[in-house]
Amino acid sequence: MSPHLFSGSTLDAYTSAVWHASALLADRVKAVRQPYSGASVADLRDQVDAVDLDRPLGDTGAALHEVARLYLDNAVWFHEPTYVAHLNCPVAIPALSAEVLIAAVNSSVDTWDQSTAGTLIEQRLIDWTAGRIGFGPGADGVFTSGGTQSNLQALLLAREETRGGKIFATAESHFSVGKSAGILGLARDAVVGVATDGDGRMDPVALAAAIEEAGGVPMAVVATAGTTDLGRIDPIDAIADVCERHNVWLHVDAAYGCGLLASRRRRHLLDGIERADSVTVDFHKSFFQPVSSSAIVVRRGETLRRIAVHADYLNPRTATVPNQVDKSLQTTRRLDALKLWMTLRTLGSDRIGEMFDAVVDRAHEAYLHLLDDPDFEALTAPTLSTLLFRFRPAGLSVTDCDELMPRLRQRLFHGGRAIVAGTKIGGHYWLKFTLLNPNTTMDDLRDVLDLIREIGRDMTGPATKDPVANAAVLA
C-alpha cells in the first residue's frame, strides 16, 4: 500500500500536507504588500531550471517550501487592490473550501458512475443559470474550462444546426471567435466583420446588411455582453430581431458581463439575452470563482446532443442515467460546479451581484476622477468595469504618448507595486484598468495613477531625452 496516495489509511498524511500548504500560503499572503515581486523572466527561469526533477526531496514539507520560493514568492496576486490589469478576480472563500473536496475526491463529471450527485449538482446549477438568463425549461448546458471553450462549442453547435459557413462578429469580439473558426475548419474568410456604432457596439443595421451581402447560409452571429477592451454590451434585443429575420443562430458571449445576471441594479443591460440560442458565462470572472469555472448554456437542450458520441464502455445509447459527457467537448472533467454551489449556498446571488456592481461603480468613479486630472486622458466612459486611459501631460504629442505607454506599462510591472493592462484602439496605445476586486478603493486607484504619473514624468524628463539614458530606462 502506497503511503503517498489519498485514502482512509493515509488521512494523517493528507491532513498534515493540506494544513502545511494552507499555513504556508497564509504566511505568504500576510506578507504580501504588492501584486508582484518584480522578478525578471531570466531570474525566474534560472531558479526553475536549477531544480533537478529526477532527484526528489523525499518530503512534502521540503517540496512545499521549494514551491513557495519558486512560485508563491513570485506569484501575481489578484487579491491585491493595485492589481487592475486583466479579467482576474479575487476568489470567494467558500469556493476555496470546495476546491479541497474537488481535488481529494477527484470526481470526473462525465458519467454517472464516476460522479453520481456531482452530476446532479452541475445540472442544477445549469438550470439555475438558464433561469437567470431567461431561458425556459427546455434549456440545458454544461460546465467548461473557460470562455474560449464555451465559444468554440457554441459555434460548433451553430454549424451543426445551420450547416452554414459564415460567422458575423465585430472587431471587439473575443479573439476566440476567429480561433474557433480555424479549429472548425472553416474558410479563412469565415468570420465576417460587422461595423460598430460610435460606442463600440455592434450595429444591427450593419449586421443585417452584412448577412445579406455575404450570401449563402449564415452560420452564427456572435454578440458580446462585455467586450474585453471597452466592456461594451452589444444591443442584444435588436440583434436578436435581425437573427430571427434571417434564421441565424445567435450566440451571446457573456463571459465578462455574466455578473449582471446576479445584479439587482443593472440586469436590464442584458435585455434580450433570453432570445439567444447559446450563451457563454464565465463564473471565474464576475462571479468570483477560482479558475476554471465556466459554462455554455443553450436555449434548446436538444441541440447539445448534436455532438454526442456514444461508446459502449462509457455512455452507451441505452444508458438510463444522466451522462454529462454526451454534452461536453471534454471527457474527463472536474466537478468545478461545486465551487459555485458552495458560493451561492454561502453568500447568495444578491451578494455576488452587489460585489460586481461595486467594481462597475468604481470604474465610473475613476472615470470622473480622470476627467479632472490634467496629466491623464480617458478614452470613453465605462459600461462595465474596464476603463481605458493614458498619461499625457500638456506638451506630450500623440505620437510620443503612443510610444511611451507600452514602455511605461512594462516599467510599472517590473516595479511590482501595481499592474495595469494595455491595448490599442484606433491605432493608439492605451493603458487599461480592469476592475474585478470589490476591495479596490478609489484611494487605491489614485495611488496607481500617482505611480504612473511618477514613472511617466521620469521617463519624459530631461534625462531620458538622452539616448543613452533612455536605453538605461528601458533596461
Asked if pLDDT for residue 211 goes beyond 70, the answer is yes
Dihedral pair phi/psi, residue 473, rounded to 5°: -60, -45
Fold assignment, 351-474: Aspartate Aminotransferase, domain 1 (3.90.1150)
The pLDDT of 415-436, averaged and rounded, is 97
8 Å CB contact between 34 and 79? no
CA separation, residue 271 to residues 60, 109, 268 (Å): 52, 32, 5
**What pLDDT does residue 216 have?**
86
Contact 216/190 with Cβ under 8 angstroms? no
Distance CA 179, CA 182 (A): 5
CATH class of residue range 108-347: alpha beta
Rg of the chain taking only CA atoms, in angstroms: 24
Within 10 angstroms of residue 251's Cβ, the number of other Cβ atoms is: 30
pLDDT value of position 2? 86
The contacts of residue 35 (CB under 8 Å, 6+ apart) are: 76, 77, 78, 80, 82, 83, 416, 417, 418, 419
Q: Which residue has the cell 493603458?
A: 431
Residue 464 has pLDDT above 80, yes or no: no
Burial class (CB in 10 A: 0-12, 13-18, 19+), 293: buried
- What fold characterizes domain 10-77? PLP-dependent transferase-like (1.20.1650)
| Residues in CB range of 19: below 8 A, 6 or more apart | none
Contact 61, 21 (CB under 8 A): no
* pLDDT above 60: residue 155: yes
Instruction: Work out the mean pLDDT of the chain and round it to a whole number.
Output: 95
Q: Which residues of the chain are in CATH 1.20.1650.10 domains? A: 10-77
How confident is the model over 164-182, as pLDDT tens digits? 999 999 999 999 999 999 9
Helix axes 60-70, 11-31, angle to 10 degrees: 30
Q: How far apart are the first and last CA of the chain?
A: 55
Please determine, for residue 452, whether its predicted confidence score (pLDDT) is greater than 80.
Answer: yes
Residue 459 near residue 386, CB atoms below 8 Å: no
Q: Where in the chain is the domain with CATH 3.90.1150.170?
A: 351-474
Q: What is the per-residue pLDDT for 402?
A: 97
State the sign of the Cα–Cα–Cα–Cα dihedral 459, 464, 465, 467: negative
CA–CA separation, 240 and 248 (whole Å): 9
State mean pLDDT over 24-38.
Answer: 96
Mean pLDDT of 103-121: 96
The pLDDT confidence band at residue 215, using thresholds 50, 70 and 90, is confident
User: Would you say residue 222 has pLDDT above 90?
Assistant: yes
Q: What is the pLDDT of residue 470?
A: 44
Q: Distance of alpha carbon 152 from its chain centroid, rounded?
A: 15
Mean pLDDT computed over 196-201:
95
432 contact partners, CB below 8 Å, separation of at least 6: 85, 229, 386, 387, 388, 389, 420, 421, 422, 423
472 has a pLDDT exceeding 80: no
User: So what's the pLDDT on residue 153?
Assistant: 97
pLDDT of residue 1: 75
- Tally Cβ neighbours within 10 Å of residue 260: 25
223-265 pLDDT per residue, tens: 999 999 999 999 999 999 999 999 999 999 999 999 999 999 9
Binning pLDDT at 50, 70 and 90, where does residue 461 land? confident
* Chain region(s) in the chain for CATH 3.40.640.10: 108-347
Pairing of strands 386-391, 419-425: unpaired
How confident is the model over 275-306, as pLDDT tens digits? Answer: 999 999 999 999 999 999 999 999 999 999 88
Residue 438 is predicted with a pLDDT of 98
In order, the DSSP letters of 257-280 are GGGGGG-SSSGGGGTTGGG-SEEE
Confidence of residue 471 (pLDDT cuts 50, 70, 90): very low
Which pLDDT does position 473 carry in this prediction?
A: 40
Contacts of 15 (CB under 8 A, 6+ apart): none
pLDDT band with cut points at 50, 70 and 90 for residue 41:
very high
Angle at Cα 233 formed by Cα 232 and Cα 237, nearest 5°? 155
For residue 114, pLDDT over 60 is answered with: yes
Q: What is the pLDDT of residues 336-375, one digit of tens each?
A: 999 999 999 999 999 999 999 999 999 999 999 999 999 9
Q: Indicate whether 463 pLDDT > 90.
A: no
DSSP annotation of 34:
S
Q: What is the pTM of this model?
A: 0.94
Is residue 468 pLDDT above 80, yes or no?
no
β-pair type (386-391, 376-378): antiparallel
Q: Are 259 and 226 in contact (CB under 8 A)?
A: no
